[in-house]
Structure 1
């Protein structure tokens, strides 16, 4: 059980499963695109470090997709930051899976 919380396990994605999620759109449309919000230099540095880390772990891959969602920085009360994504437009265009 403790292995599930190890750094080594946390730095790998789990295998694909039959329950992997698919996103279906309400209608045939261009993928939602939203221009990035202006960020200060420190925020750009944090996002670049996060992206480099996620790419190195293969959690994300480079994309040429026309879809885009803004990245936001949320400051934690105890210090540090959390990377967030604004999927408002994507969520509005998808069929709810309930």
Structure 2
């Protein structure tokens, strides 16, 4: 039996709403700390923060965070960039350690 077009549209909207309410998954490698990370967790204070492949402003952008996004991070800061995970770096000036987290 074929469903009416209206039913399919309403069902599609419902599915999109559920997926949207669940939020976006961070790019691969950002949901767990890099080795030796300890308990560092940071919040993004820039409007949009580029995640780069290397600790260099000219490095390839491999992801982005919006204001208020929280992520685990490594204590390693190199060339003004904080390591999040392998091949994942953000400008340290645009992240702030969350209270109770040791970002050394």
- Structure number with the higher helix fraction is 1
TM-score by length of 2: 0.25
TM-score by length of 1: 0.26
- Structure number with the higher strand fraction is 2
